[in-house]
Every structure is written in C-alpha cells, then in structure tokens.
Structure 1
Amino acid sequence: MSSSYKRKIQISVTIRNENEPAHRSSVNSLQYDKNTGRLFSAGSDSIIRIWNASKDDSSYNESQNKRYIQSMEHHCDWVNDIVLCCNGQNLISASSDTTIKVWNAKQGFCMSTLRTHQDYVKALAYAKDVEIVASAGFDQAIYLWDVGTLTKLTATNNTVTTSSLNGNKNSIYSLAMSSNANVICSGSTEKIIRVWDARCCQKIGKLKGHTDNVKSLLVSDDGSQIISASSDGSVKIWSVGQQRCIGTIQLHNEGVWALATNDNWTELYSAGKDKMIWKTNLRDFSDSTLILEEDNCIQKILLIEEAGNKYLWTCGQSENIKRFKISNNNTTELVVRNASDVDEDEAPVEGSSTGITLTMRNKNSIKNINPSKPDNNNIDSQKKESFHLPPDIIIYGAPSIRQHVVLNDKRHIVTKDTENNVDVWDVLQAHKIGQHGKVLIDEVVKQYHKRVYVPSWFSVDLKLGMLQIVLDETDVFASWVTAREAGLGDKAQETKLNYGGIFLKSLFDRWAKSTMRYHENSNELDDVNNQTIFQLPLHTTIILSESSGRPILRSCVKDVGNETEAAILEDLMPTWAKEVIEKQVPPKFNKIPFALIPYSANSNSTNNNKNPKRERLSATEMLQVRKIMEHVLSKLVGGNDNAVNNSNNYNPNNYNPGNNAYSIGNTYNTNSQNSKILINPLFSNIENKIELYCNEQKLDPDMDLRSVKHFIWRQSGDVVIVYRHVR
C-alpha cells in the first residue's frame, strides 16, 4: 500500500442503530427491477436499500417493514446515482466519497470498488444494448466502463482499463447515453450540453441555450434526440443530427431537476424544485398536462410501465419514497399553445427555430377537473386539493439529525432531528443514552451542563443524517480529564484519563495487533484493557480517510480483528493512532504557565502592590487548584516546619504526571510522593488555611487549572493567581 497514506489520515466513527431499515435523509436515485418487483433506492445516508415494490400499500396493512428487504452498505458518503445492469443481475453506484461500486444486485453485496474519480461522482449513464456504464462528477471527467469486465474483478484480478471523454470545464451534474452508446451527453454548471460518440470517444458537438446548470438529461434509444432540464426552469428538446434546439418547454416555476420518458419516447415527465410533475406529449409539444404536486422538491422520477399500467416513482428532498398510479383520468389540463396565440398577459419563453414555445398562463388559466369547485378566485386551495394525487405506495423514511450541541464535558452530545426529537449521546460508548422527546434543545443542554472546561478532541459531521465523530491528529489527544470528571467511580478520583486514547482503544480493541500487545505486557496493562476500554456496539462504523475526505478504508468494530482487515489496518493506521493503540504510548500533557502573587493587605488583588513577589510556574492543565494551595502552604507561606520537612513536598514546577496520569480506563497506582501529600496532616482542611483568587474571584479547590484559565482568567498570557494565608 502506498506510504502516501501516512501523511494525513482522519478516523471517522458513525454512531447509529445496528439496523437502519429506512432512509434518514434525502433519496437521490431509484431503480426498479421488473423481473423481481424490487425497488433499489440510493440515499444521502450512504446506504442503498432494496424494497419489495410488487404490490401496493393495501396489501401490506401499513407495515413498511415487510417491504424492506436489505441494505447495501459500503459507501462512506452520499450515494448520488445508481443503475441496474445485466438484466438486473448487477447494480452500479456513484457516491460523493469519490468511488464507484459494483454490486451483486441479487444478493446485495459489494463486488468491487473503482477509485478513478478524484472528486464527487455525481451521475451515471447506462447503454443497455452493449453493457457500458459511464460515470461523471465534480472532477470534470467522464469515464466509460465495460460492465462485463467490472463484474469479473476479484482481489487478485483487480486491474481494469477505462476510456475517458475530455472537454468538460466545470463540475458535471447530469449524464445520459443512448442504448447502443453511439451518443453520450453531459450537463454541467457550464450551462451547455456536450455530446460525444462513446464508441470512439469522439466529440459530436455542444448544445447551447440554457442559462443555468443542466441538472438532468435523457437520450432517445436511437440517439437522435436529447432532452435537457435546467435550473433555469426550462426543458429543451434537441436534435442531435441538426445540433439545435427544436423545442423549449417552460412549465415549471423553478428549477427542473428530473426527467423521465415512456418506453416509446412519446411522453415526457418533468419535475423539480417547484414540486410539480408535468407530462408533455413529445409528438406535440403544445400538449402538456399537470400530473400532480408533491410535498417536497423532487430530485428523481422513475416511470414504470407494467401490465398495462403506468406508475411514477418519486424521491427527493425527503426521506420518503412514493409511487403514483398514472392514468388519463387523474391529470389536470393546462392551456398551452403556439407562440403566435400567446396573450399579452403571458410571458413567452425564448423560442426555438420551429417557433414552438410552451407557456403557462396565470393561475386562473388552470382548469380544475373538479366541477363542484369551479370558482377560480379560490384556485390556490383547489389546485392543491386536485393535484395532490394520493400515492398507492409510500415507503417512509426515518428522522435525520439536523442540529447538535457538544456539551462542556466533551463527552456527551445533544441532538435534534427533523421530527424535533431531542436525544443525548455518549461519544465514548458510541450509543444513545437519553431520549427527551419533542422539547427545546436548549432545555436539555442546560439540564446536562457542567461548569467545567474540557478541550475539544473531536468534530461532528451530520451530512449522513446520523451522528458522525471525526478524529484528527491535531486535537484528538487534547482532552485529559480526571476519573471523577469522567464519572468513573471505580477509579481513584484524580486518575488522569485521555478521552481520545480511551476512544481509540475501544474502537480497535479487536484489532489483532492491539490484542497481541496487551498479552505481551504486564498484568497491569491487562487490567487497563479489561477495566477501561468501553465495549462499543459491534456494528459501529469506522472510516479511515484522507484529510480531503476521500475514504481509504471502511470497516466496523467487529471486523477490525479479522485477518484481512488487521493486515490492511497495519499498513494504513496513522502513526498518531498506532502510538496509543499498539505501542501503549501515552499522549503528552498540555502545560499551562501561571504566576503566584501574594495577597495585598488592601485588596484581594495585587493592584495596590507595586512590586509583588511573583513566582512563575508551569504545570499540567489538569492540575487541581487544591494542589496549588498545598504548594503555597508548604513552600511560600510556611506551615508546621516539621511536617513540611518530613514530607516529599509537591512542587507544581517539577510535577510529572507521567506515571499516574495516562490510563486507558484503569488506575495506574499513584506514586508514593503524591500519596504522602494526600495524607500529610499539614494539608488537611487546607481550605481553612489557604485561599486562591483569580481576577478577584475565589477559586474552588476542586477546579483544575485549565478551567480557571477558560472560565475566569479568559485572556492570553500567564494565569495570575493571588494567594492568601488565612490566619
């Protein structure tokens, strides 16, 4: 494996349920297998799901779990597009994780991964007659793949050649190809459509006319026509042979994102941001009807003609998938005419060379099919009622997390999902610990709030609609806490623990190399392993990725100990993680410089003391105020001389926590020096002997130095602490 992976690696962990039978975010693409009645859906939660879609909802008694068949999990980011190949035997997927994956569609497992693209892979196209798939994305590249070759790739036979189509200058959002691959076209933010002959990779031309991103494309089976949809709100029909627009359809109020045609290329369905689905007669562009209005923006429509019926599947900016049965009796007619017939109150769209322009008049020009409600003054409410055609299948999704607050203890996270449910999660244990229902998130945050400062050691990513924890070498070991702060009551209260170290140990506990290391070491380390490492849910997903987000390995807690996974991890695991997991090297402590100044007789500050005696020290950020009080009593103000001289006095400047500070959960025995301090009678009831102040605020003996700096000092430079000897 290339050593380049050693440069900068992040580790991401997804905290989720073991089984995720419903999409948790928007659904981006759909494919239907007529042979089996199975529907494949690709989601922004990184999961492809398979559903039984052979019967309508009346056959399922509202039990959607009976529709769910299987999840296909191997991607690490949004799955943007999918295509079924080889008569439903295989499925190809494209993802924002920059990969293309080849799946066994019948059994639902990943066969191989293609890493040719360097950025998000946004679109796929399929030539069914010759079994060729094309892929395109934000790296401006288009690659052609022979499906037969892809399905034969193995661990040893893992080399594949590909052809590429050059010329794009912008990120590609849409792609389409004729059934014999003689025409392939791409749409992008360049606002033009580029056309090639995929058989010889030769450019045919480029089509200009759109004024915004081209979001969807279709090519007729014979390659003679292209249909394009754009964020400019228009749909255009192009002649490939003439390389010009032969019709512009302007029916949508906002961007058009999805297109579908029937098998005969006589009916066009369009949908998009305005939630409307229109049908246009491709033999007479002036004939358009409004089919229905959806509840959310539509990103994909799939027309299925089966047993004499037409079904329209929809998905988009919702976690739900719907199917509508289409017939001529449930559509609403819209008045559309030739450009010469347009009234003055209509706004025609730029026409083509044929002079055909489709326009939508004001709302009163829409004919409502319900004769009992003819009043056009109330057309808005009538339109919504009439156009909300009830679906005969709804595949419901699950709520996705959209808001989060990391609590001060940097261990717990409060989240709010799309159904306003507020939950609490324990990062170290990688699971949910509290469900508070539909309440204000701020109320729950206040309930769990602690006045403690712990540095951040992870970041949170919600792009999948689930809680994803990201570990980076720059701060993963920043959070040292005491056993008391961590709530580990079975350990000495001042035992120092590192959250990042604990979490990494817990994640890779099954890693063969790590387990072997435990057995090689002393019983004390075995105790650490047994007592401190949390037993995380075995399904917890682990992703190793480059700093750019490009994944290099996806695994889970239960699999990291497998022989194959262990060998890969040995090569890919970043050094900063290996040091802790494999070599048991404790992370370094952060130190904070501070100054001790005697109390002024006139004030509890030193403002009136022109030349105060200042002692500059440096200590671990975990140092408790109580320890500073002990140092002050023994070294600066003096106490019982015999007691002081007979003890191994604590000195913050010389304090070395190495022997008792780092523990992956177990308490390393405190050294004798600190033990003597704890039982020294000089320091009993020290609160009655020494008082410490910072910014004129009396310090709590149980507060640590970093909390003093964060909450009270709140500025750069050495923390100034004033000490007072209470007589």
Structure 2
Amino acid sequence: MHASKERNVSIVFRQQNANKQHCAGVEALLMPSIPDHKILFTASRDSTVKRWDVSGPAPVLEASFEGHADWVNDLALIGDLLVTCSNDQTVRLWRAGSDNGQLLHTLSAHSDYVTRLAAAPDSRVVVSAGLRGEVFSYELEGGRNTRFQLRSCSGCEAEDPAEAHDEPCSVYALALSPSARLLAAGTSESLVRLMDPRTGRGVCKLRGHRDVVRCLAVNSCGTKLLSGASDGAIKLWDVGMRRCVQTFQVHTDSVWSLLSTDDSLSYVYSAGRDRALFRTNTQTCTSELLALEEGPVRALAVDPDARPAPSGGFTSGRVGLWAATECSHVNMWLVPAPGRHLHEAASLPATRPSTGSGDAASLTTATTVPEPAPDATATGTAAAAAAAVALLAGVRPTGAAALQSGRSFPALNVTPAAMVSRAEPIVRKPVATIPGIPGIVAHEVLADRRRVLTRDARGTVALWDVLTGMQMAVYGKVDFDAKRRELWEARSVPPWFTADHRLGCLSITLAPTSAFTAEEYAVKLGGYPGELPEEHKVNYGKLVLECVFAKWRFMLGQGPTGGEHCCISPGGSSDSGRSGSSRGMLLTGGARCSSGGGASGGGGGGGSGLAPSSVLPRHRHGRPNSCDSDGRGGSRGAEQQYYYDLWPKYWQCDTPPAVICTRADGQRWRRLLTSFDGSEAELYEVPTWVGDVVLRSASVAPLEAKITFFLLPAKGSNLPTLPITRLQAPHILEAHKVARYTSDKLKEHDIRLETLPGSLRPRVPLAPLECTGPTRPTAPACRLLELTCNGMAVPYDMNLAAIKKFLCRPGDDLVFHYGVRDPDRPAPAPLLGPSG
C-alpha cells in the first residue's frame, strides 16, 4: 500500500446518541443462527458496526464496533470472529461476542475500496474483494492468504489482437461454497466468474446479465447459484451445466440483495432500488410482493422462525424479514411463512419461456411457467388475461380468474413498473424497527469558517460550531438556502479546513498546508476566563488539534518520560508566551505537568497575558473513559482529569467526536477523543506536524497574516495628512480600530473627532449618535469620524481582509479615506449580500 504524501487529520462531530444508533445508511446485515438467542449485526456508512439483541419485541443494542474510517460495506462471521470490510481499504477482525467491540487484527492488503466478503465457516476461510479486481483469500487457521487479480477482456472479441487489452474489473458480489472449493464473483463486466479460491484459477464465466452483478447466493454443495444484477433480473444457474436455468424479472430496477433460507434455493428473498421486497418460489414459478420500503433496500436478513413476542405480537409460523435502506434505521417485516398462498396479488404474471444463448428461460415479469396444457382452451387463457389486467387496474380477480394453488397467470406481457406500482403488498407496516439518527445530507460552510449549516435526511436544518464540536442551534424544517442567506456575513477567513458529510455526520479535515491559516482575537471569540490582552490571538487549527489530541497528550505525560514533551499552550494561542509560566495538564492527585520555560506557539505580536494555571478552573474532558472503543484500553478512573482547558465551555459534549488519521504506511485509523491510551506512536500513527503543534508548541503563525493599507484624508475634508500614511496590520484587525487610531492621531493636531464605541459597532449607515462623554461647551454634538473605501462607508465590524475582498476592486491597494461624517449626507453603505 502506498503511503499518503499528506497525512491529514479528520474530526467527525458525531450527533447526539450516535454511540447508540446509526446515523447513516446501513449497507449490510448479518443474522447468525444461535440457539436460544437472536442476534443481528448491522454495518453502516457511518463507519461503525453494531450488534443488536432482537429476540424481544424491541431491539436492544449490545455492542458497537468502532475502528473503520469509512463506510463498512459487508460482514461475515466465523465462530466468534466477526469480519468486516470497508472503503478504508481494510478488512478487520473483531471478537464478535465482546461487549466493547474488541478489535483483533487489521488486514490492509487492498489498495482500493473493499466491497464484499464471503466466508466458509467450517473451512475457516474468508474471501474479500473490491475495486480494481483485487480478490484475497484468507485461511484463518494457518494465517495464509492468496491474492489474485480479476481483469476484464474488453477487447477479447476484437478482430485485431493488437486492439485487445485487459483492465481490472470491480467486484460487487461474492459467494463462497461451505467447502471453500467454489468462489463466485459478480463483476462490473455483467457476468459471474467462477473460481477456485485456493489458487485463484478461473473455472468459467456465466454470461446472461445485461448490467453489473450486485448479489450472489450459492447452495451448500455448490451446484446451484443465484445472481441479481442492476438489470433487475434474478437468475438461477446450474453450476455443473454452466448455464442459466431460470430468469425471474420481478423487480423494476437494480437487485441489490438476495438470499435463500433453504439449501435447495426454492424460496428467494430479494430487494433493491425499487424498494420492493419479493419472495420468489423457483419451483412453482411465482412471486409475492411482501412489502414496500420507504427507500432503496441495501441489504436483507431473514429470521425463518419469528417466535411470538412476550406480548403475543408475533404470530407463530411467520418469517421475520429485516431490511436495511439508505436511511439510518432498519425495519423488520413479519410475513407469512412460505408454502402458503395468502395474497392473491402476490403471484405475478409471467411470459412463456424462451431459450437463448446460455439461458434456459428469459421472462418479462414474474418467472418461467410451464407451457399451457394441450387441452387449455383459448377462453380460459383469455379469462386469465382479463383477470391479470383487472389486477393491475386495482380490481381483485374472482372466480376462475383467481390464482389457483399459487400458480401464476399464463403468458402475458405486463411491464414490471405497472406491476409493482399497482400490486398490493402483503404487509403494510413493519412490526419492529431499529431506530437511527437521520444522517446529514447537505452542508454549507459559512463565511466565518467556524459555523457550518447542515440539513439532515428529514429536512431538519441545524447550525454547528466546529470550534466546540456541538450544535449551536436547531432551526427545524426550514428552507436551507433561505437560512444560508440569512446567516451570511461579509467575512473573509482563509479556508483552514474542508468539510464533508459522507459518514452521515459533519466532518472537517485539517491539512498541514492550510490548517493554521485562520486566527481570531480571543476577546472576539469569548469564553476565556480572566482578563486577556486585547491583542491576544487564537489560531483555529491549533485550538482544534489541542482539543482533539488532549487525551493522547495526557497519556504520553503519564508514561516514563513524564511531562518533558508537555510544553503546551492550551487554548490554541498563536502568541509568543511568557517564559516561566506554569501551564500544563492536570494529573492524577492534582500534580501538574509543567511546561517549565517552554513558550507557547509563536506568531502574533504581544504577550500571551494568560492567567497562571493555579487560578484557572479545572474541567474534565467528556465522560469517564470506562473502556476504549477499540478494545485496547481499560478504565483509568472516572475522576481522572486529563485535560486542562483555557476554554472550559468547549469540547465538553456528551457524544465526543472521533478522530480519523492515516498511519505512515497509508492505513487509516479511527479513535474517539476519549479512547487514546498513549500507545499511538508519533510519526507512525500520529503525524509529526500534529506532534509539533500539540506536544512541542511549534509556531503556527499564518505566513500572510498582515495587510498593507493607506490612510488618507477625504477630498474636501480639510483634515491634515497623517505623518505615516502607509501602514501594516493583522488581517483580522477590524475597522473600528483603524478609526480609533486615526482619531488618536488627529488629536495630536488638536482635531477631535469621536468614533463609535467599539462595543456597538453597528453597520453603516450609522444612526445619529449623541456623544456620551465630556464635550466642549461650544459643541452641541460630537463630530463623528467617517471612514470610506472606494467611495463607500466602511462598516466598523469588518476586518481588513473582508474590506479588501468586498470593498476594493481586484488588484487595487486598500485605501481608507477619513473625514467628518455629515448626518444629512453620509457616505453610501456598501451593497453586500450572499451570492447565489
């Protein structure tokens, strides 16, 4: 695996109760057969796997497996070993029965997304496959693995051999026989490949599908195979004859999941993009529409014996069908047991079988049916046809036209779209639900580069603060774009992070080249205890990293080296601190790891002005760390305080964020903020640039932190020119400070112009303001200083960077003109507003 050139750090701000529920779509389900116990494993796009006890009327969470850094795509179980695969290019092995989701081993052989798993529990063999045609076979007992590459022959049929070329083909479905002697792979070539998993040698290719093969199932002896594809077809293959013996066209769109509860593959449960859950009888050639989900179905799991609940809600002789969609929750549908025809609308019309290349039958609607008997009359056929048309029109057939003994109608050409939209499902509502948190589906980073507006799958709009890791406000179901325009401000802050919501939660990613480009005055942010100098700055990236790696820093201080690397400046200050101040982390028993004479992060001007640590309040970060989520740690005491914080209101959320980073070898890892145990080695797991900031307080001052501007008198103002007209100031300096500086310099020329109080700083146009301070007896009202830029009044709450961006022409120098404000004819206010 190639190591990443730039090892970024991502922070996932998990939603409330995200440790108890999924917050993104569920990609895979697994329901093992355990005597006297019903367990369901769910794998989600939120990068977690959860184990649920579903034996009672309401599912109960038993354990959460956290460690993957991206979508978890599939699950497999061998004894007490849970195997998972993910888009983070890893296959992970867990202790399936552990209470804390114990991670045992990580396999990082893949170089791209790992999409599917297949297991032979008796043989203790696991096969993983993914993009680029990579397939790996693992023998868990001996620890051996076999790699083989699947390549498509896109030019194999070319007349000119020179034009033939092969490319990797992605694998989207896997099935492994219990004996581990036959491996079936569904690929992007629209075919099924049969291989020997021990050697990777290809056996044959099963052709017949017209699109990507998405799901597979094989019987125990490896003689029959089921396949579902994006063409909406389900095919039953005879492996020995290497041909398709039946085709079932019951779905109107892609088939994403199918399984069978009996070894003969007599009954097939299937679902996919059309939201429909079908059960097809491959022997009688009939299909039943069991239920309709609210969204495309990603995975299925079947409880063949849904026992009655203690309340008596479950009827005996019924089947529990668990369905996972792109939503965060999972539903269980209680359907009649197979073998009984309980719903006349369940069996669907079928066309006459036809043979073709490789296929024993090809159907348009439900499945193949035998040829009509020789004595079948045209009248009977016409009556059945009329009954089918009436069924699709919403009229229930009766009499001779009704379905008999579960048989389907004779040959009719009925489009599947009309069939599914008008057919009546057997079950209308699920009987049990594993609830989930609506995942975030849209986000917008606001101009201050601190707040992010989000919208979840249910349309709820919320505002997040990335410096606190928590929601600031929840607006409910409002117009997202309207709220974005309402919250817009004329701010210019460098993009110090990138945001995404692919895990169903808001995530930000910090890169070493841009993480420290944004800073702000501490008094502007607020929340600091005690008095701070007005010029004290806080670097956003440094603040976030120190909060994220606080537990890691503390655990390193507990090691043999003590606190020799703990010369830190909590709170993310980018100012050069005063030597000798005692700033560090609170250790067990009140001992403090002092920084000695270490300075805080360099950068902005002025002393830090930080209060001594002995007078600052002590706060504990998050909840007690009772057990590490990855199974490597244990409890270190609920009262242990490991994070001394200059910003006590920050990072105290009930659901702590998670950290995602990359090791030196390119493998990605994930930890909760409370799960660091000090074993995460710098350079290998934690990048050196993070250690420089968190442990050694490296300088993080932005390279372009100052802006040059000119200060000139307005034309016709009769005000003098100041001695210095070309100045430099931090880009975060606000205009009211420029006005105050100008006023002070004019006083040296015995010209007194008042500026607006800094605490007010309203946007222009400015309302008439009476002077509240001492005035000369001859002056009935204060004369107010007015700053203009490019002929427009400068809002006092805008900083230099924003003024240069919104008020200056591109390429022009930043020039302020000062004059006396005319209450009758003030300078025009700039027309500022959001784009789009």
* Contact 2:243/2:360, CA 8 A, preserved across alignment: no
Instruction: Tell me: CA distance 1:105–1:696, structure 2 relative to 1, closer, same or farther (3 Å).
Output: same
Shift of 1:179: 1.0
1:333 pairs with 2:347? yes
Contact 2:207 2:358 in 1 (8 A): no
Candidates 476, 483, 493, aligned match of 1:437: 476
Deviation of residue 563 (structure 1)?
A: 3.0
- How far, CA to CA, are the matches of 2:712 and 2:513 in structure 1? 38
* Structure 1 residues 364 and 443, CA gap change in structure 2 (3 angstroms): farther
CA contact (8 A) 1:247 1:351 kept: no
Alignment of 1:598-613 (within 5 A): 598-599=712-713, 601=715
Q: How does 1:641-720 map to 2 (within 5 A)?
A: 691-713=786-808, 715-720=810-815
Q: Distance in 2 between matches of 1:441 and 1:132?
A: 49
User: 1 CA distance for matches of 2:356 and 2:327?
Assistant: 35
Contact 2:546 2:694 in 1 (8 A): yes
Residue pairs, 1:543-582, within 5 angstroms: 543-546=659-662, 551-560=667-676, 562-565=677-680, 568-569=681-682, 571-582=684-695
What amino acid is the match of 2:126? V
Quick one: distance in 2 between partners of 1:391 and 1:420?
23
Q: What are structure 2's unaligned runs of at least 5 residues?
A: 152-167, 308-316, 367-384, 402-417, 558-562, 568-583, 585-593, 599-609, 617-643, 753-781, 823-836
Q: Give the 3-state SS of the residue equivalent to 1:601 in structure 2.
A: coil
Q: Does 1:484 align with 2:494?
A: no
- 3-state SS of 1:16 partner: coil
Give 1:401 deviation, angstroms: 1.4
Select between 619-628 and 548-557 the one with higher mean Cα deviation.
548-557
Letter in 2 for 1:193: V
State the aligned residue count: 641
DSSP-derived class of the 1:707 partner? helix
Paired AA for residue 748 in structure 2 = G
SS in 1 for 2:545: helix
Aligned counterparts of 2:327 and 2:715: Cα–Cα separation in 1:
68
1:521 matched to 2:614? The reply is no
Q: For structure 1, which segment, 707-716 or 542-551, has the greater mean C-alpha deviation from structure 2 after superposition?
A: 542-551
| Structure 1 CA distance for aligned equivalents of residues 451 and 798 of structure 2 | 20
In 2, Cα distance between the equivalents of 1:275 and 1:291?
A: 11
Q: Which runs of 5+ in 1 are unaligned?
A: 150-159, 341-349, 605-612, 644-686
CA distance in 2, matches of 1:450, 1:371: 55
1:24 is aligned to 23
Give 3-state SS (helix, strand or coil) of 1:319's partner: coil
1:275-290 → structure 2 map (5 Å cutoff)? 275-283=275-283, 286-290=285-289
Kindly indicate whether residue 540 of structure 2 is the aligned counterpart of residue 499 of structure 1. Answer: yes
| DSSP 3-state at the match of 2:441 | strand
What TM-score, normalized by structure 2, do the two folds share?
Answer: 0.69
Distance 1:550 1:12 in 2: 18
Q: Helix, strand or coil for the counterpart of 2:235? A: strand
- What is the distance in 1 between the residues matched to 2:191 and 2:448? 52
Shift of 1:164: 1.6
- TM-aligned CA distance change 1:7 to 1:550, over 3 Å: closer
Match of 2:696 among 583, 588, 596: 583
Q: State how far apart, in whole Å, the 2-side matches of 1:382 and 1:627 are.
A: 67
Equivalent residue number for residue 101 of structure 1: 92
Provide the C-alpha distance between the structure 1 equivalents of 2:27 and 2:139, rounded to a whole number of angstroms. Answer: 24
Measure the CA separation in 1 of the matches of 2:329 and 2:527: 42
| Residue identity matched to 1:433 | M
Q: Does 1:119 align with 2:112?
A: yes
Q: Distance in 1 between matches of 2:717 and 2:783?
A: 19
C-alpha distance in structure 1 between counterparts of 2:67 and 2:269, whole Å: 32
Residue 336 of structure 1 aligns with an amino acid whose one-letter code is A
1:138 aligns with 2:131: yes
For residue 272 of structure 1, what is the aligned residue in structure 2? 272
Q: Residues 445 and 452 of structure 2 are in contact (CA less than 8 Å); yes or no, is this contact kept in structure 1?
A: yes
| Native 8 Å contact 2:18 2:437 kept in 1 | no
Structure 2 distance, partners of 1:418, 1:549, is: 36
How far is 1:382 from its partner?
9.2
Equivalent pair of 1:184/1:197 in contact (CA under 8 Å): yes
Which has a greater percent of strand?
1
**1:314 counterpart = 2:409:** no
Corresponding residue for residue 734 of structure 2? 624
Q: Contact 2:183–2:196 (CA<8 Å) still a contact in 1?
A: yes
Tell me, yes or no, if structure 1 residue 721 matches structure 2 residue 816: yes
Q: Is the 8 A contact 2:146 2:198 kept in 1?
A: no
Q: How far 1:499 moved relative to its partner?
A: 1.3
Tell me the residue number matched to 2:758: none
CA shift in 2, pair 1:6/1:191, >3 Å: closer
User: What letter is aligned with 1:181?
Assistant: A
d(CA) in 2 for partners of 1:688 and 1:532? 40
Provide the C-alpha distance between the structure 2 equivalents of 1:447 and 1:550, rounded to a whole number of angstroms. Answer: 42
In structure 2, the partner of 1:428 is 467
Equivalent residue, structure 1, for 2:498: 459
Rounded to whole Å, the distance in 2 between the matches of 1:26 and 1:622 is 41
Whether 1:365 aligns to 2:388 is yes
3-state SS in 2 of match to 1:358: coil
Q: How far did 1:423 drift?
A: 2.3
Aligned partners of 2:176 and 2:496: how far apart in 1?
A: 47
Q: CA deviation at 1:448?
A: 4.9
**For the Cα contact (< 8 Å) 1:312–1:326, is it kept in 2?**
no
The CA deviation at 1:371 is 11
How far apart, in 1, do the equivalents of 2:535 and 2:112 lie?
48
Instruction: Give 1:91's aligned residue.
Output: 82
CA distance in 1, matches of 2:24, 2:12: 18
Corresponding letter in the other structure for 2:365:
M
Paired AA for residue 361 in structure 2: I
Quick one: structure 1 residues 15 and 312, their matched pair in 2 at CA, closer, same or farther if it must change by over 3 Å? Answer: closer
SS at match of 1:713: coil
Q: 2:510 aligns with which of 453, 471, 476?
A: 471
Q: Secondary structure at the match of 2:523?
A: helix
Q: State the 1:121 CA deviation.
A: 0.9
Residue 318 of structure 1: SS of its match in structure 2? coil
- State the Cα distance separating 1:538 from its structure 2 match: 7.5
Structure 1 residues 549, 115: CA separation in 2 closer, same or farther (over 3 Å shift)? Answer: closer
2:347 and 2:115 map into 1 onto residues whose CA distance is 35
1:79 to 72, 77, 90: 72
What is the DSSP-based 3-state SS (H/G/I as helix, E as strand, rest coil) of the residue aligned with 2:646? helix
Taking every aligned residue pair, what percent have the same amino acid on both sides?
27
CA pair 688-137 structure 1, distance change in 2 beyond 3 A: farther
Once residues 354 and 627 of structure 1 are traced to their aligned partners in structure 2, the CA distance between those partners, rounded to angstroms, is 81
Q: Superposed, which structure 2 residues align to 1:147-186 within 5 Å?
A: 147-148=140-141, 160-168=143-151, 169-186=168-185
CA 1:329–1:301 in structure 2 vs 1: closer, same or farther (change >3 Å)?
A: same
Contact residue 186 and residue 212 of structure 2 kept, 8 A: yes
Change beyond 3 A, Cα 1:624–1:281: closer
Answer whether contact 1:172 1:189 (CA < 8 A) is retained. yes
CA distance in 2, matches of 1:521, 1:3: 40
Deviation string for 1:550-603 (max 9, x for gaps)?
A: 65332222233x2323xx246433343233212223322324544426346369
Counterpart CA distance in 2 for 1:374 and 1:360 is 18
Give the conservation status (yes or no) of the 8 Å contact 1:188–1:214. yes
Matched position secondary structure for 1:333: coil
Q: Is the 8 A contact 2:693 2:699 kept in 1?
A: yes
Say whether the 8 Å CA contact 2:127–2:137 is kept in structure 1: yes
Q: What does the per-residue CA deviation read over 1:230-250, in whole Å, with 9 as the maximum and x for residues that have no partner?
A: 111112222323333233222
More deviation, 548-557/451-460 = 548-557
Alpha carbons 2:494, 2:517 under 8 Å: kept: yes
Distance of aligned partners of 1:31 and 1:714 in 2 relative to their CA distance in 1, 3 Å threshold: farther
